[in-house]
Amino acid sequence: MVGKVYLVGAGPGDARLITVKGLQCIKKADVVVYDRLANPQLLKSMKQGARKVYVGKLPDRHTMKQEEINQLLVDLALEGKIVTRLKGGDPTIFGRVGEEAELLRQNGIFYEIIPGITSAISVPAYAGIPVTHREMASSLSIITGHENPDKLDQSIHWDKVTNATGTLIFMMGVAKIGYISQQLITHGRPATTPVALIRWGTRAEQETLVGTLSDIEEKVLAAGFKAPAVIVVGDVVLQREQLKWAEFLPLFGKRILVTRARSQASELVDMIEELGGEPYEFPVIEIVKSSEPQDVLGIENAFSQLDQYDWIFFTSTNGVDFFFQHLMEQQCDVRALYRARVIAVGPATAESLRSRGIISEQLPERFQAEGMVDTFANQLQPGQKVLLPRGDKGRLWLPEKLTEMGLEVTEAVTYQTIISGEDDDELLRMFEEHSIHAITFTSSSTVTNLLEIMRRMGIEDPVKQLEGIETACIGEITARTAKEAGLSVGMIAEEATLASLVQALCHWNGNTQTYAKV
């Protein structure tokens, strides 16, 4: 049975700018064929077991030739695979989609072309440059600038293109900027015409250089400005000083590695994106219901006496979630908790309880075990019974302290924290290129597991590999684990909350404004 090929535009770089249909094609593909202009974060949406094939440039080989890519798509489809060919921007704008589609048609393979948001328009927008303006430009041209001067002259009629539209967009023309500028001046554009080059637009590396046709080459050389970039020529460039916005976002220019469990990462990812950062998800832990025989027996014992407890201490949202899962499985009635005072370690845990109809007692001033004990120390009496639902990697300080104070503590290990994380070639590449700027750790397990997974991926000295990358920890306990592992900790959240962690990242990036809601 012959498969099918989806020729998908991945958008300009920001993973959120892919179309809904494009993302659907990634999710259902058996194989995703991609290059460096497609954000690797999009590959996180692939289904389990799907294969990814990189056809861009690698240190040990040049970019796969277009003819080879065309044939690869055919071969994969003939194997019966559903293939998504992921191309930066829009596949029909200098994306050579016609060549790929032609060979597919010749081989009787069904395909679809899924448009994407072209970088010709979106990248200038992220730099604060609208490509049209009622008073400045009512038309635009999109022109390739990648070829050598001879080919440029063959494909571009300079005498017609130069003044055909108010705005000229050149794609991939950084190396030829001097020649392009000279041709435009020669054919009638004033030397004072504004020019902007936007490099890696919509990504963490976004950089904008502004000049005129007469001086832009000199500025490019002086700045060492490199491809890939979009070139905008025309008076619309003057709008940038009034309309630029991305640079003002507090996490602009930073790519942040998120190591939290996939089931919990979305809130942190959303916060980072909202504030202009580029998160890269690499979950290193997985939270699963405990199935160890001794844990199951302990849960049965703990739940058999729910009406006997004076206190229940919840030290995480996971503790709440899995407690109620076990509650249902044991067919226990929540009303059995009528006499227990319920304590949450912090606001997120309290909200998780509130969503289930249970209001926590006063929150501790410090959102950790020590704070819970400090807050209720004068109310905790010897002989009182405490239920402590927790994970298998939970700290022993709390049960030991409560026992020392004379309380009867019943621990119920309701969930396990296990190592996760598939080998990730893209992450290794980003480490090598030093394009990860910060790492967030939300528990001690995320620290130890990341280092272990890096070793598994072939990094002999993970701590050395992470030198130069800022480390942000959600609290003192996590920071202590990171320091003991040899990492340099640059940021510790004032409160053990995601909002406080993100606030620390903003301060680190030079933004001291306080965000009440992110």
DSSP run (H or E) holding 417: strand 408-419
Does the annotation mark 219 as catalytic?
no
Q: Which two tokens stand for residue 328?
A: 């249902």
DSSP run (H or E) holding 312: strand 311-314
> Rounded to an integer, what distance in angstroms lies between the CA atom of residue 125 and that of residue 181?
22
Helices (H), 213-292: 216-223, 240-243, 262-274
Instruction: Return all residues near 211 (Cβ < 8 A) that are at least 6 apart.
Output: 194, 195, 196, 218, 219
Does the annotation mark 57 as catalytic?
yes
Q: In one letter, which amino acid is 439?
A: I
> Rounded to an integer, what distance in angstroms lies between the CA atom of residue 344 and that of residue 348?
9
Does the annotation mark 44 as catalytic?
no
> Rounded to an integer, what distance in angstroms lies between the CA atom of residue 408 and that of residue 414?
19
74 alpha-carbon distance from chain centroid: 32
Nearest C-alpha neighbor of 31 from the set 55, 11, 15, 57: 55
Q: What is the dihedral of CA 259, 261, 264, 269, to 10 degrees?
A: 30
* Identified catalytic residue from 21, 44, 172, 235: 172
Q: Which two tokens stand for residue 204?
A: 């963490």
Distances (CA, A) of 445 to 230, 333, 471: 42, 33, 15
Question: Under a CB-based contact definition with an 8 Å cutoff, are residues 290 and 326 in contact?
Answer: no
Looking at the DSSP assignment, which residues form a beta bridge with residue 472? 440, 491
Strands 110-114 and 4-9: parallel
> Rounded to an integer, what distance in angstroms lies between the CA atom of residue 176 and that of residue 166?
21
Please give the sequence-ordered ranges of beta strands (E in DSSP) within 149-237, or none if there are none: 167-171, 194-199, 207-212, 229-233
Give the phi and the psi of residue 338 in degrees, each rounded to 5: -55, -30
Question: Under a CB-based contact definition with an 8 Å cutoff, are residues 177 and 216 in contact?
Answer: yes
Question: Under a CB-based contact definition with an 8 Å cutoff, are residues 372 and 364 in contact?
Answer: yes
**Direct distance between the N- and C-terminal alpha carbons of the chain, in angstroms, rounded to an integer:** 49
Burial class (CB in 10 A: 0-12, 13-18, 19+), 429: middle
* Identified catalytic residue from 27, 28, 57, 65: 57
Question: Under a CB-based contact definition with an 8 Å cutoff, are residues 251 and 276 in contact?
Answer: yes
Distances (CA, A) of 177 to 103, 126, 142: 34, 21, 15
* Identified catalytic residue from 35, 215, 235, 270: 35
Q: Which two tokens stand for residue 375?
A: 């807050």
Q: Which residues are catalytic?
A: 35, 57, 172
